[in-house]
Amino acid sequence: MSPDLTVDIDDGVAVLTLSRPQHRNAYTADMGRLLSAAYRDCDARDDIRAIVLTGAGDCFCVGADLSVGSEPFDATGADFTASPIDPPAFELSTPVIAAVNGHAIGIGLTIALQADFRILAADSKYAVPQVRRGVVPDCMSHWTLIHLAGVAAATEVLLTGRTFTAREALELKIATRIADNGAVLDEAMTLARDFAENVAPTSAALTKRLLWDTTIRGYTPRQVAERETEMHHQVMGSPDAAEGVAAFRERRRPRWTGAPARD
């Protein structure tokens, strides 16, 4: 799409790479627009079963590009939004894996918090330091962090703005898992290919939606039961439901035909 964001698609997996390695993938408004467009385009394709978001070089994203002086935090216009990634990853039907292959600071981390999975590099640094820069956290992080880790962890990360390690991120339930820096993308690709090969795409889309909507809409257990029943009515008796059982019995990989983007 652009030198600032590359898109590679292979065997059902789209790899989106923040690609300003000479600037440690520092975030720009153009990068945000490109990522938003890539999310929309990938989610509209039924041949893409999983999305991996990563960074070029040895950093994921070190936050807003401060090389232009105070410009990133200048007074805002009427069109400013603190949530420039639209749609956020959690609104997609396609599973999104953040392969956080190095330092993730500020918006670099808050973008990753919107993903379904976060694999963090073991020997890198993480922070949402906006309160130490005279601004406030962004990308819906006041909601995503509470959703992922609870109020106590969100307060620890957002209100102090301090830097923490991957091990602390795992303990705070921010990281799904951690891996050696050079192995993060491989770990993410293994997970993504498992989605592409073994998980029914319609089932994944419905399950992801209910997982996030339960928090977004505040569903009660009974409301969740109602939604699960509605979803079962949608998929039971479908070709993929039959194929899932047949593939299990025949000990082979399933051949899914469901198309959530189309249907």
Q: 184 and 129, same structural domain? A: yes
Same domain, 244 and 148: no
Characterise 124 by phi-psi region: left (phi > 0), alpha (psi -120 to 50), beta (else): beta
On whether both 152 and 240 belong to a single domain, the answer is no
Question: For 168-187, what is each residue's pLDDT tens digit?
Answer: 999 999 999 999 999 999 99
CATH code for the domain of 95: 3.90.226.10
Tell me, what's the pLDDT at 240?
96
41 and 103 share a domain?
Answer: yes
pLDDT score of 90 more than 80: yes
Q: How many domains does the chain have?
A: 2
Q: Would 257 be classed as within a structural domain?
A: no
Looking at the structure, tell me whether residues 124 and 17 fall in a common domain: yes
In tens, the pLDDT along 33-58 reads: 999 999 999 999 999 999 999 999 99
Where does the pLDDT of residue 97 fall: very low under 50, low under 70, confident under 90, or very high at 90 and above?
Answer: very high
Are 109 and 234 in the same domain?
Answer: no
Is residue 123 domain-shared with residue 221, that is, in the same domain? no
pLDDT at 75: 58
Q: What are phi and psi of 204, to 5 degrees?
A: -65, -45
Q: Is the dihedral of CA 243, 245, 250, 256 positive or negative?
A: positive
**Residue 65 reports pLDDT greater than 80:** yes
The reply to whether 262 falls in a domain is no
User: Does pLDDT of 3 surpass 90?
Assistant: no
Judge if 67 and 107 occupy the same domain.
yes
Tell me whether residue 31 is in a domain.
yes
> For residues 112 and 63, is the Cβ–Cβ distance under 8 A?
no
Residue span of the structural domain in which 220 resides: 200-250
Mean pLDDT within 101-108? 98
